Every structure is written in C-alpha cells, then in structure tokens.
Amino acid sequence: MTDTAWRAREAAHAERADALTQGHRARAARGEKHPIEDFLFTYYGYSPSLLRRWHPGAGVELEGAAADRERAGWRWYAPSARPGAAPGSLVVDRAAIEREKATLLTGIERILRATAGRAASFGCFGLHEWAMVYRQSEHRHPVPLRLGQAGTDAVVDAHDLKCTHIDAYRFFTDEATPRNRYAPTRETQPDLEQPGCLHANMDVYKWAMKLGPLVPGELLLDAFALARDIRYLDMAASPYDMEPWLDPRDPEPVRIESADGKAEYVRRQRGFAERANALRSRLLETVFDASYGTR
C-alpha cells in the first residue's frame, strides 16, 4: 500500500475512533460516570488510545512506514522481506504472532467458528441482568431498580433462565444460579456460545482487539460500534432505571416483563445476531482463512 493510501486510511480511522469515544473521553476528563458506555472501557479494559491505533491487517505492506518512528516501534511490525518490496516498507509479522500466541489464536478461532455455525436462540429476554440482582439487597450498579427489589424478583420467579454465556452467568446471585438451565464454564464456552446472545456478540469486539494487528482497523471499529449498540439494549432491558443514560433517540426502557417488551427485545436481538455473525465471518476470512485455513 502506498504511503499516501495508508496514511489516509490511518487518519480516517483515527477520526472515526475519536467520534466513537468522544463522549467517554469528555466524561472521564470531568470525572463523570456513565453506567452504560463505561462498561466498554472498564470491563473490556481497552483504552480509547488503543482503539484509535490503526493496523492494515496481515500481509499488507506499508510503504515508507519505517520512517514513522511511532509505528516502527510498535510490537509485531517488521521490515517487509518480500522481493521487490519498496524500501522502508513495514508489514505485520504474522509468523511471530502465530508462534507466540498459538494457543490464543486457536481458542479465538474455535469460539468464532462454533458460535457462527450454531443456531441462534432468542428466548432469554435479557434476564441475565435480572439474575445478577435477584434476591440481593446490594447491587453492582448504584442505580435504582425500575420495579423495586420485590418486583424484580417476581419477574425472575415468573421466567425460566436460559443464559449460555459464562461471563454473564458468573455474576448471577447465589439464589439465581441454580435456576439457570445451563451451568456455563470457561471450558464449555465454545460449546455453549450462540449468536443470539448479546454478550457473545459484544465479545466480537474483545476477540478483534485480542487479535491485535492481524485485524484491519476498520473491522475493529465495526466490532466496537456493534458492542456499543448492544450495550445500550442490554441496559435498556435491564432491571435498572436507566432512563437518564439511554440514547436520546431511543429513551424508553425495553420492558421485557411485558409481551410487547419481549417482542421488541427479540426484534433487536435478531438484528444484532446478523451483524455479529457478519463480523465473525470477516474476522475468520481476514485472520484465519487467509493464512492457514480451518484447523
């Protein structure tokens, strides 16, 4: 890729990343909290500056990039060894990443393929968040419960819990855990992940970030944008009174305790499942199939 072309893509990526994180960065500077969007930076633990870093993906030569002192100092970049490569070209050192991160790459690929190939389930209605406060007087979020504690408990009592995601299930209260149809573990994660799950679909962003420079920056930001959109539904359908923090374009909670609320939740859930599987396909094609195929 020519010097002019890759620098234009890098600049466009930085501009888009800044727009996606503007609100969070401004609030952080003022010391303000946002119980919906902060999750994307505290739970996943990736800073806006890391999200802003553009990579071309594996196999793309960046002409003249060796003269860019910042990029030349980044891990996983190496001079291009291709005969005829332009002097000063850098390329992502895929072989080095595969040697050092073989176990991680294998695990990510397994989860991506298994989730994408499994039928989606749309019957959970976001009750994982309700199970996290079930019959508990102290809660993870300092936000009032929309229906109060008794009302929240009654909703859980009236439904089956069908959570398949370990990183949601592990926050269930002790009273809610035995009510769940499944008992997810880290070992069974590839066997239970399914594309209807909001948290599994948010995690596409996590996998893209963990794959580092193997993932083109545009794909990483698409995954982050999906995670942010899903997070808003996750909290809009939660038992918390989130109205002060919901998107002004869609300020109403999704009242999953009602038939209309369930239908609305499933409608959005299906849309996110489609977007997430499209991103999984792109990750598999870009990172895995282009290199050594299905293992």
Helix (H, G, I), strand (E, B) or coil at 42: helix
Average pLDDT over residues 10-14: 97
pLDDT digits (tens, 9 = 90+) for 24-56: 999 999 999 999 999 999 999 999 999 999 999
The stretch 117-140 carries a mean pLDDT of 93
Q: Tell me what percent of the residues of the chain surpass a pLDDT of 90.
A: 88
pLDDT at 156 over 90: yes
Give per-residue pLDDT as tens, 71-85.
999 999 999 988 878
Average pLDDT over residues 231-237: 97
* pLDDT number for residue 60: 93
Confidence of residue 294 (pLDDT cuts 50, 70, 90): very low
Of the candidates 189, 226, 200, 197, which has an alpha carbon nearest to the alpha carbon of residue 120?
Answer: 197
Per-residue model confidence (pLDDT) at position 135: 96
Q: Confirm if 208 and 223 have CB atoms less than 8 A apart.
A: yes
pLDDT of residue 290: 62
Predicted TM-score of the model (pTM): 0.94
Residue 295 has pLDDT above 50, yes or no: no
Percent helix, strand and coil across the chain, each to the nearest 5: 55, 5, 40
